[in-house]
Every structure is written in C-alpha cells, then in structure tokens.
Structure 1
Amino acid sequence: MYHWLGAHPLTQDGLEGTRFAVWAPNAKEVCVLLDRNHWKHGAFYLSSSDEGVWTGFIPEVAVGETYKYSLKTPVGNIIQKNDPYGFQCEAPPKTASIVTDLKGYEWGDADWISNRQHTDWLDAPISIYEVHLGSWKRPWDGRSYHTYDELADMLIQYVQEMGFTHVQLMPITEYPFDGSWGYQATGYFAPTARYGTPHDFMGFVDKLHQAGIGVLLDWVP
C-alpha cells in the first residue's frame, strides 16, 4: 500500500514533481499545504476516487520539502494533518511531513540476509537485547540524541561484548511525546527523525546486520 499512498517523487509527462495520495473517505476537500502556498487551504487540490483516495501530482515539489494535508470535514471545518503514509517527518516538536525518496541506499548485508534465510530460528540460540535508542545513551555535546550511525557503532560493540544475537528496538516509528518512549505512534512508515533520516536508519540496520546482529522492531498498533 505504501507504494501508492504517501508522497512519491517522480516524473510525469516530462515534469519532475511529487505525486500525493491519501485515504480520506469522509473528507469533502483535500489540499496539499506547502511553503509555496503559505500553508493555506485552496491552492493545490487533490482529486477523489470512489474508494475515498485523494490523489494529485504537483510539479516542482522536490525531495526535502515539507508538507501537510488540509481537509474539509463534512460539517465544513478545515483541519490540518500530517501524512499517515509519509516516509519522513520533521523532528518534534515540529509536525510536518517531508517529501523523501527511499530509493538509492546501497545495502551491504547480503551475507546476513542469506544466512537468515537458511537458518532454522526455532532451533537456533537467540538472545535479545531490548533498547530505547533515545535514553540508552546521551551525547555530552549538548545534543538531545545520538544519531542512528553513532548508535549503531555503540550498540554493536556492547551487544557483541554481552553475547546478544539480536537487538529489539522499542518503537522507532515517528511519535510526538518523548515521555511515551514511542508508544504513541503518529507515522507508521517514518522512522523517527530524532536520530536522522530514513536512509540513516537503513544504515543503522545495515551496520548491525553486517556485524551479525539481527534487528527486531516493537510494533504499536
């Protein structure tokens, strides 16, 4: 589903831009809010389908631009929402979604993937280290958090020293309130921006896999 819904940079009829798609079956209108329209309802309308999916292509909207959806409710109220299928969000306390391209990362974990496919995990020893990335270690340079890359290096060393086979991350999808430890998901398709970009998170997983460490994710429905 995420291949269709969300914001996807692409070329259409020779024009580079972004295709937006969101499921909002009860909305009367859906617009895309951007810096270029001063975040006002009414500039970039999306078209609805019988299934309640609103879609549209906006030329010249590039990777890195922030956006939200503006919806008119059945009673005429205008509300703003970030993209439930967005792949990247602004770091809290900001709440806008960010146009991003998930393609282009070069994975180096082919050996891990091959071994995983040929391992009987019901018969293999497993020792899992559960960790909350935001509170496990804090930087001493004034930043609130370490980056995905820094955390990968520190976790690899610790996990290998302690003999764990897997790391289980407490909720890593985007969430607004630090005190929830991630159990307040607002963006199921966006790794939290607290520690970096989606590609940075790919690098985190890739590093652990290359070190022979599996990665499990807490899922919060």
Structure 2
Amino acid sequence: MAKGKKTRQSKGTTITLKMAQNCVELSLVGKRRLDLSFKELSTVPKCIQKLCDIDELDLSRNLIRKVPDFIDHFINICVLDLHSNYLEELPVTIARLQNLLVLNLCNNRLTSIPSELGLLKKLHTLNLGLNQLEALPGSIGALKELRHIGLSDNRFTRIPGCLSRLTKLERVSLDRNPILTEQAPSHESLMITEKLYLVKKSFLCEDCLSKCQTERKKLEDVTGGKEP
C-alpha cells in the first residue's frame, strides 16, 4: 500500500467536462495545465479526453488504481503527474506520449514498469520512488535524455545495470533500498556509484563516515586507484 494513504475505500468523485474545464490553468510560460489533484478520483474521468490538447496533466493525490488506455490521446503533454495514487501497473499506451519530459509515478504500488517506457525518447525526469520495484527493464537504458531518476524506497537489492547506459544522467536516488553492499562490485555498478549524489560527509556520524570510507577504499583497491 502506498505510504501515507488512508485504508478506507471510496467510490471516488465524479468529474464532469465543465468541472474539468474549470480546472485548466495557464502557466506563466503559456502552458495549459489540467489540475485534477486532490479530487478523490478513483478512476480517470473519460470526459477529459475532450481536453487532450493540454500541455500538462496532474492526476496526483487521488485514489486511482488504473491508468486508462486512452491516456495516449494526450500526445502533446510534456508533464504527467500520477504520484500518490494506487497504481499497480501501467498501460503500454503510455509510451505513445512522445513529448513527455517529466513522468512522476512516485508513491504508488508498482511492482514493475513496462519495457515500452524506454520509447519516451525526450524524457528527462522519471520518478519511481515509493513503489515496490525490484528491477528495471533494460529498455530504460535507451532514455538518452534522462537527467534525473528517483528510485528511493523500493526493493532494489542491486543497482540496475541499465543506468550505466544513461550518459546524460545527473542525479540518481536509491535511498532506503535493501542494496546488498557485500556483493563484489561489477564494472557497471562502479560506474554508476560515481554518479550517485546521496549525502554530504558533514551529515554523517563518525561510524557511518568510517563505513563509507572503508567501502570507498574497497572500490579503490578493485580499480587500482583509478576512475572505473
């Protein structure tokens, strides 16, 4: 269950087309954003298909369990926010949103994501934190424009190898995953470790800092003191 959620069941709120139209906002840069967050929606309203020419779609903080196949009608959106719902899976049709720059799926119940997500060639931010993921499909390595990926609070026991192919990646979050640190580091994991920006030294206690320094020395021993 997604964290911070109430356990009671709800039939959800019914949204009419007129209500949805009243939720369309214009940003300072001229983007049209449909904000249906905090509406207690249990399903994505079918009527919003008539508003598919918007630039951003916010369905966060609802009770949604399924993303409908008609999501692919929103071919112009550059931001899709579905965080803090009850999603257990994603439709493959989401891969048709070729203009997506930001996809936020944080705080759901996802145990896997479709390999078709690797077709979102323009994506630069992908947030998958607070789910139940144990692995990523190798196709994620095809997201050559990806700069930020959030994977914290999942079930990863190892750093996904596909991340090493993301040449523009600037930030990875793997906090609070059961990463098996005793595993012998592979060449791929060494490359990715150099890209992680998790915590400053000043934030660590002496014991934690000592452990980090020990692990760092192990990496240096494996690589001969050179960059992997």
TM over 0.5: no
TM-score normalized by structure 1? 0.29
- Structure with more of its chain in helix, by fraction: 2
- Structure with more of its chain in strand, by fraction: 1
TM-score normalized by structure 2? 0.28
